[in-house]
Each structure stands twice: as C-alpha cells, then as structure tokens.
Structure 1
Amino acid sequence: MRAALTLLLAAAAMGCIQSIACKPRVRRENIVVYEVSASIDQSPTAVEESSPIVLRYKTPYFRASAGIVMPPVPRNESWTVGWIQACTQMEFYNSYGDIGMSSWELPELREGRAKAISDSDGVSYPWYGNTTETVTLTGPTHKPSRLTVSMNDNFYPSVTWAVPVSNSNTPMLTHITRDQSFVTWLVALNGVTKERIILQTVRWRMRVDIAVDPSRPLGSRATLVGRQHQEQPNILNNPESIPPNALGRPNANDAQVLMWRPRKGPPLVVIPPK
C-alpha cells in the first residue's frame, strides 16, 4: 500500500516538476481518488417505545469515506474537498387508521420544481458538514497532499401516537412508511473561482416500514415489517452533475413541511417550512 501511494503522489505531481515556471494548476486529471467506500450498516431499524407521547425509530447509518491525493495548490488559491449530499425523493407517511395520515413532504420535489434539495447541515453550504466531511488546502503548497474525508447519516425521528391535529392523547397510530433517496457527491471546490470538480457520485436509499397496534400496551405496539436490512449504496462509474438546488438554501430540514391529510376533507399544514 505504501509503495502504491508513493506512485500516486508522484503521478499527482507530474506536470509541474517539468515546467520551468512551475505554475501548478489543479485539474481533474491530476487529482487521484485512490479509495472510495460507501455502505449502510447491516443492522435493522431500532424502534423505541419509551415515551407515551411519541414513537421513535433509529435507522442504521449510511457511511462514506474517500482518500484523495491533491496536486500542489497555487498561490492565492484554496481548494476544499468533501461531501455534498441532496435528497432526490421522499415519501414519509404516518397512518392513523381510517382517520387520515400525517406526511413530511418537500414541496419542490413533490411538485417537480426541483430535482434535488440540499441535505447540508444548514450552515456549511454546499457541504454536508464541516468536520470530517471536508478538508481545505490553501496555496501555495509545493507537493501533493494526501487527504481523507468521511461522513455518516441516519434518521432518528419522533412520531406522535395520537393524531397530530387532535387535542386527544389517545394512541391512534397504525403504520409508518418511509422511503427516501439521496445522491452524495465527492467534490473539489475552488474557493476563489468556485470551479467544481466532481470526483465521485454515490446513490443510496433508506426504507422503513413499521406496523403499529395502538390497542396494545406501550412497549409492545410497534413491529418492524418488510426488509430487515437496507440495500447497499451504489458507487457510480461515471460522476453525475449536481442540480442547483443541491448547493444552496434551503436544506431539506428547513424546506420540509408536515401535512395532515384526512380521509375526508382538505389537507392541513401542521408545520410549515422554516
């Protein structure tokens, strides 16, 4: 492994060392991505019934990591390498028998006005986060730099036992269905020119299916049905472009809205977007 990395570092430096002026330029062809991994933990979604107010569930983690060798960065330039993620599809329904259902929705996706919504932490746009998720190089650097960036993601929501638009505390929840898809990009971004180089694209999906019997005592109502383990992510052979909505505000958490959709009558906005 050490010998292979030495060769990669040498390859990343080619082009500048033979130039008299030695004016390095970061290009896709001299960035080396030597290791990419993406997986979802092989554990079932955990259901928690400790609260008399809400049911909670915790999905397994999606994890992604990559090793990158960046070429020398010129003076007066900076490059950030890291993960950008967007939600491309969301169905999140909580059914309450024959009364109706609550639904977390992303209106722009639902109405076809956007292909993807940013899944940034809401601060570090366009990045998913700013700790292990990114590394920034500020020029001048005079030799190739070896970097590692990683991220993880999962769901840990709360769903009310009672109908969310009712004053009653009577448990009525009967089913939870969630199906959400994401695209995650490994990207190098020039902090001065804003040039983006897409290094890798990963597609992944998380599905949850929980049956609930509200007549049973707390602690024994919910059962995980359907798949026990998630499909593993797909690391694409060819990088995909990033839709504009995946790069800026609002992020998915701020854009989502909680609707109440009764069996009879018009839908009602319970929690508007931020």
Structure 2
Amino acid sequence: MRLTPRFVWAVLVFGAMGCIQSIRCKPRSFRESVGVLEVNSSIDSNPTSIDESSSVVLRYRTPHFRAAAHVLVPPVAGKETWTVGWIQACSHMEFYNKYGDKGMSSWELPDLRDGKIQAISDSDGVNYPWYGNTTETRTIVGPTKKDTKFIVSMNDNFYPSVTWGVPVSDSNVPQLTSIRRDQSFTTWLVAINQGTGEMLVLQTIRWRMQLHIEIDTNKPLGQRSRLREPIAQEQPQILGKNEPIPPNALVKPNANDAQVLMWRPKNGEPIVVIPPKY
C-alpha cells in the first residue's frame, strides 16, 4: 500500500496518543514505521540509437530504465543502522549477434541459461547487494529524533560494442547481419538492518528490454543498420504484491562478471571467446 503524507501523519498521531494511555507502550519498530510515499518507474520513450562511426565495432545505446522512491522513516529509537535502496537482478538474458551463414556470437550467463539459478545479481560489483551507492541508497543511523524523508533513485541502460567481423577471426571484414537482445530484470526497493541483516522488501518492479537490429553489410559504413523493433519499449510493472529476492541476487558474482562470450558456428563446436571474470 502506498502511504500518503496525510495518512502517515494520522498514523503517527494515533500512535503517540496510544502511548500516553499506556505506560508500557514501546517505540514502534523500523519494520512498522517505514513508509513508501511514492514510487515512479519508466523507460524513456526514445528508441535505441545506433552508432556506426567505427569500422571495427557497431555500438548501440538503449533507452534508460528509471526508478525513484520517496521514503519516510519516522524517528528511530534504538541504536540501529538501516540502509534503504535498490537491488536489481537479471532473470532472463538472450543476446545473439548473427554473422550470416557463419554462425553467431552470444553473451551468456551459464547458470541462468541452464536453470541452476532463478536470477543473478546486477550489482555494480562493489557494493553488494546494492545496485549502486550514490543516488541508489540512503543510510539512517539511529537514534534519530525527527522524521527522515529522502528519495532513492537509479537508472540502467545498455551500451555495448559488437564486432563487424566474426569474433574468432583476425579479419575485420564486415559479416554481422543481425543483433537480437531480450533481457528481463526484477528491481526491489529494500531496507536492510546493517547490524542484524534483517531485510524488508518495500516495493518490487519488473522490466524488460528488447531490440532487433538488422544489418546490410553491402552498404557503406554509416548506412548499414536499421532498428527493426521495438521502437518503444514496454513500460515497467510496479507490482501490487512484493516478490521475494532469490539468494543469488544478493551475492557475488554479478551479471557483468559472470557472463561469457561464446562463438557458436553453424558447423562445429562452440568456442569460448571471452571467459567469465569471476
């Protein structure tokens, strides 16, 4: 449930009146008192842009996914430290670059691909389990005497490079004919007690990024590529019921360190082009 400022104020006044009438009334816990006043999430309306300025690689930039939450934390009575912020995990990834009748390269997450895990962390690789530690998180150190209001926000997009030539060849002869990408993510607004590890899921968002780029290598550089679909991405879903966070979404490795670049020839065995970092 989203709490309006007026509703939150009413709850706090009612709670204070209750304490006057009861000597044994205890301060409300963080779990009971933290409120999400507003959550916004969207994917920018601009289409994926394509950059053919390099004779070695094609680059593309997808529109940004954005999420922001306005959070209210009433006074924290105890000596507790809580961090509120965004955690994100990838739950599905297809990323195929086709090179005519030669074969295709693909970025893959082996454990996710093989169904060994439900999702993999999309942390920045430093501040596990958080997506980042600038605008993405806020830490409250108790005890505090006043309400704490703040906004935590994040954004995400893709800006990869794909070789024009077959990645296992020394040749730069352009043979790239299409790029397809389809990734799904779950993003959680979470509060974590730094002392006890207690975790509260405050909001859950699902989103997806898709694209299909068609390439004609017979055309001159700068005129080869065309975005086929989608021109506008599906907008994120802010779920009415929160989903639990899979264990792998909270720990190493993150998706960037676990991914592997494969070359899958039309005839022959797959080849590891770039192994995972982790």
TM range (shorter): over 0.9
**Residue 39 of structure 2 corresponds to residue 36 of structure 1:** yes
Change (3 A) 1:200 1:12: farther
| Code of the aligned partner of 2:104 | M
Verify the 8 A CA contact 1:37 1:66 in the aligned structure 2: yes
**Residue 137 of structure 2 corresponds to residue 106 of structure 1:** no
2:167 is matched with which residue?
Answer: 164
- Counterparts of 1:101 and 1:118 in 2: how far apart (Å)? 26
Paired residue for 1:95, among 92, 98, 103?
A: 98
- Counterparts of 2:79 and 2:126 in 1: how far apart (Å)? 25
Unaligned runs of 5+ in 1: none
**Residue 172 of structure 2 corresponds to residue 152 of structure 1:** no
Verify the 8 A CA contact 1:65 1:148 in the aligned structure 2: yes
Verify the 8 A CA contact 1:12 1:144 in the aligned structure 2: no
State the Cα distance separating 1:126 from its structure 2 match.
0.5
1:45 is matched with which residue?
Answer: 48
- Counterparts of 1:13 and 1:190 in 2: how far apart (Å)? 26
State the Cα distance separating 1:6 from its structure 2 match.
5.3
Verify the 8 A CA contact 1:13 1:71 in the aligned structure 2: no
The TM-score, its normalising length taken from structure 1, stands at: 0.94
Identity %: 61
Paired residue for 1:268, among 240, 264, 271?
A: 271
Q: Secondary structure at the match of 2:30?
A: coil
Paired residue for 2:239, among 233, 236, 239?
A: 236
**Residue 134 of structure 2 corresponds to residue 139 of structure 1:** no
- Counterparts of 2:276 and 2:124 in 1: how far apart (Å)? 16
Q: Secondary structure at the match of 1:225?
A: strand
Structure 1 stretch 14-23 or stretch 224-233: which is displaced more? 14-23
| Code of the aligned partner of 1:25 | S
- Counterparts of 2:123 and 2:269 in 1: how far apart (Å)? 33
- Counterparts of 1:50 and 1:16 in 2: how far apart (Å)? 64
Paired residue for 2:68, among 62, 65, 69?
A: 65
- Counterparts of 1:44 and 1:12 in 2: how far apart (Å)? 45
Change (3 A) 1:218 1:12: farther
2:196 is matched with which residue?
Answer: 193
Q: Secondary structure at the match of 2:5?
A: helix
State the Cα distance separating 1:147 from its structure 2 match.
1.6
Q: Secondary structure at the match of 1:109?
A: helix
**Residue 206 of structure 2 corresponds to residue 214 of structure 1:** no
2:8 is matched with which residue?
Answer: 8
- Counterparts of 2:164 and 2:102 in 1: how far apart (Å)? 13
State the Cα distance separating 1:14 from its structure 2 match.
5.7
Verify the 8 A CA contact 1:9 1:144 in the aligned structure 2: no
- Counterparts of 1:170 and 1:20 in 2: how far apart (Å)? 81
| Code of the aligned partner of 2:259 | Q
State the Cα distance separating 1:146 from its structure 2 match.
1.0
Q: Could you list the per-position Cα deviations for residues 179-233 of structure 1 after superposition, in whole angstroms to 9, with x for gaps in the alignment?
A: 0000000011111111010010000000010000111110000000022000000
Paired residue for 1:248, among 232, 248, 251?
A: 251
**Residue 132 of structure 2 corresponds to residue 129 of structure 1:** yes
Measured on the aligned residues, the alpha-carbon RMSD in Å equals 1.5
| Code of the aligned partner of 1:149 | V
